Amino acid sequence: MAESISSRPAVELAANLEKGLLDDRQYRVIKLPNQLEALLIHDADTDKASAAMDVNVGSFSDSADMPGIAHAVEHALFMGTKKYPGENEYASYLTKYGGSSNAYTAETSTNYYFEISASSTSNSPGTSANSSRSVLPVSKENSPLYGALDRFSHFFVNPLFDADTLDRELRAVDSENKKNLQSDNWRMLQLGRSMASKTHPYNRFATGNYDTLHDKPLARGVKIRDEFIGFYKRNYSANRMKLVLLGRESLDELEKWVCELFSDVEDQNLPQNRWDGIPIYEDKMLGSEVFVKPVMDKRSLELVFPYPDEDKLYASKPGHYISHLLGHEGPGSILAYIKAKGWANSLSSGAHGMCPGSALFYVTVNLTEEGLKSYREVVKVFFQYVALLKEGKPQEWIVDEMKKLNEVKFKYQQKAPARRTTSYLSAVMQQPFPRDQLLSAQILIREFNPQAIETGLTAIDPDNFMLTVVSKEYPGDWPLKEHWYGTEYKTAELPAEYREELRAIAAGKGGSKIAELHLPGKNEFVPQRLDVEKKEVLKPSTAPKLIRNDANVRTWWKKDDQFWVPKANIHLCLRNPITNVSPFTTLMTTFFKELVDDSLAEYTYDADLAGLSYGLGAPTVGLDVHIGGYNDKAAVLLEKVLISMRDLEVKDDRFAIIKERMTRNLRNFEWSEPFRQAGAYSRWLSQARGWTMFELLEELPSITAADVRAWYPQILRQMHIEMLVQGNLYKEDALQLTSLVEKTLNPRRLPPSQWQPKRAVVLPKGADYRWSRTLANPENINHCIDYILHVGLTSDREQRAKLLLLSQILDEPVFDTLRTKQQLGYVVGSHAVTYNTVQGFRVIIQSERDCEYLEGRIEAFLTDFEGTLANMAQDEFEKHRVGLINKRLEKLKNLEQEADRLWFHISGETFDFDLGTSCACFARPDVYHKY
């Protein structure tokens, strides 16, 4: 008898993967006899297991007469398999164990992933959520991961493509497309595709809709289900699949599961999809300018260059060198110059591999009003800088600096959530990297390749680009309409004399050179001190220590005792009640924040490149400052930020630019997606004090630069300082940083009686309130309902635990009933919510149906589910309870997560640092009663 494929051993491709200093996971790369590659990850301490499959087929494989089919097939695979035919079997199983799943379709790959509790039994509520001891693996029979993996594997063995569920998923795809019709990002993306060469798959409509996937194919006599099965069979092959599996189990055990469950995936030995030699844009589009009318009021300039495919140049990454210099924001950069001229607010650049064989290099500039008038001058400045790069040889010291920064980043890389890890690495496996470099090849620069840099720069040429201007004002006429989204636009050739001028500039012969443009200097923020004192810790602390508490300052400190990275987080709340007492003061505080950010942009760019960032926020209780990253120079950056706040020079020209930008941003809110608007209005309605965009817009025109100059010192004159210092810093460091803040700002004491508390509106029992608003955009066909049931105060731990458990139980049924079965819309979800001091349960739906109908569907569902909950089997209930406990006790993955958790409790003045462990084992009748 012939040996079955599943009984034959896998081939090991790599075992000793290059990994960072902090990475305690074990790795193994194997290839099954059917050529499916898998990366196995053993993480003894993980409380979440995960798997992801990346299939090397995406929207570029759509047939020309059925655009969107790759995306629709992605949807259809979730709807049942031969072994597990229930359309919500997979999602229901994951939810019971505190898990979730998702997928996305890109140009050349489709990525499926899930995450689930690593254990079917609860972690003890009495232990730390981040115990340092390793946890034991579980048997296959009791492993949530194995059960999920079994269901997941059949996506790629025998999906059903049931006709009824397929039709509903096509309507879900249609709803997803309609959700995006008024999104400028989607409209711009599709316009770029529609203008591409029809010989290149980039030209296609990737999302699809009901018309392209159902109505038109039916009219041609196509059998929809057969077409989907045919696409799947033609393109889904084991040799195109890359699997990543992460769990507590040993590598040997994980390998057994993969061999058992994935060996039956059919291998057709299909070639890699490549599009070598097919230009994305035809020559007639290069040298043209396109004018686009956006939905929102925005202004931007985009330059797009066809660019070499650099996938195989991962060791030198020449595109990174070019984008690093063109997109630099420090002194001597393009942005620094055009910002000083009053033409721009930001600039970004980068090469993007569209598919094997094709790439594009993008440069995007957000323009001011004056910049829109001078957009061609901005392009001249850009090519002046390009000429500067081409005149000199590629600089090895710049590459060496990039190398060092990337080495530090890789060496001290912290863990990411399990699902992000598996999804990302499965996509990375499609790249031509050595298998032992799967973790490092995307990050590390290993060699200096000046020839490749010069080849890349050759593509940044005046004869090899398309220019796009986005504005609601200019030129005023947009006679053309893009087919799929209806975007209004206009195309024209760049004037011949202007193109000649650009050629001369790019060749270094056009007019006088701009003296202000030059290469960046050496980065003074490159971290030098990376030492960490690591100690054995039986149980990491869950709370910071209060090391100073006097009339004007409260400082909290927590030394890193579990992540051991040379990083720190410094959080500051400068508490002052005047920042949010009226729309006027709220706007003045926002102006102050924006002007400080504006003044620091050049200085802080190097710090950001070196892994040290800052943030300035304006919450309702004062001002927030955050410094995060490598601790070596954190104090230097903090002092610079504080001095810039204290000594801010309010310049009339920058004030005018920021005021105009704030005005546009406030006006644009009403044109954002309905579900985003509904969420913002719900938060506003719950606040004891808050201001709508309309109240702020009414006040904004009257504010002057002189007002800000006179007013901002009042914010800093009197305050209470709340501070958290966390990470690789000692108590003495924390106290010194506290003194630095005090001495730099030197504020007067703010008595506790003047502190602004965080409060929320508590609804009376039996209240039934509705707040409605008509969308400003008449072209948006969607409605949105944000249905919130208030259930009490967040301080009630027992009630909070019951609410979270009920939310977990409801999560999958809400989605399955209201989205999958009733097809109310693409945006459908439910979860527990908190608004400062109150908590509740939320269902949000964005739909073509009106809100009255949606409210009826929600309430009918909740009424029906009462019986479901009452009759729920005890073992099913127990799985939900265990899943929730494990989710609440989930380990923090990195230093930043811990800092965010601590600061949440400090800034909210709850100081309930053990809230996450408070979900104990509540009896079923209690939860039913709460429902």
- Residues serving a catalytic function are 74
Question: CA nearest 301: which of 333, 349, 264, 236?
Answer: 349
CA-based R_g, the chain, Å: 29
Q: Residue 544 in contact with residue 557, Cβ under 8 Å?
A: yes
**What sign for the dihedral angle of Cα 231, 233, 236, 239?**
negative
The string of DSSP codes covering 569-628 is EEEEEEE-GGGGSSHHHHHHHHHHHHHHHHHHHHHHHHHHHTTEEEEEE--TTEEEEEEE
Residues 6+ apart with CB under 8 A from 2: none
At position 681, the amino acid (one-letter code) is Y
Q: Parallel, antiparallel, or unpaired: how do β-strands 553-559 and 718-727 relate?
A: parallel
Distances (CA, A) of 233 to 70, 152, 626, 637, 782: 12, 18, 52, 56, 36
Tell me the C-alpha distance between 206 and 202, whole Å: 9
- Please report, to the nearest 10 degrees, the dihedral formed by the alpha carbons of residues 315, 319, 321, 327 taken in order: -150
Q: Residue 478 in contact with residue 293, Cβ under 8 Å?
A: yes
Tell me the C-alpha distance between 116 and 513, whole Å: 59
Q: Residue 393 in contact with residue 525, Cβ under 8 Å?
A: no
Which of helix, strand or coil describes residue 267?
A: coil
- Tokens 């809400």 appear where? 814
Distances (CA, A) of 829 to 365, 445, 639, 843: 36, 42, 44, 6
Q: Residue 326 in contact with residue 334, Cβ under 8 Å?
A: yes
Tell me the C-alpha distance between 784 and 680, whole Å: 12
Structure tokens at 134: 């390793």
Strands (E), 223-265: 241-247
Region of residue 287 (phi > 0: left; psi between -120 and 50: alpha; otherwise: beta):
left
Burial track 342-368 (b if 16+ CB lie within 10 A, e otherwise): bbbbebebbbebbbbbbbbbbbbbbbb
Angle in degrees, 0-180, between the axes of helices 797-814 and 89-96, rounded to the nearest 10:
170
Burial track 16-40 (b if 16+ CB lie within 10 A, e otherwise): ebbbbeebebbbbbbbbbbbbbbbb
Tell me the C-alpha distance between 186 and 872, whole Å: 43
Which of helix, strand or coil describes residue 264?
A: coil
| Backbone φ, ψ for residue 84 (5° rounding) | -125, 80
Question: CA nearest 668: which of 698, 690, 697, 691?
Answer: 697
The string of DSSP codes covering 854-914 is HHHHHHHHHHHHHHHHHT--HHHHHHHHHHHHHHHTPPP-SHHHHHHHHHHHHHTT---TT
Number of alpha carbons in the 13 Å side-chain half-sphere of residue 604: 22
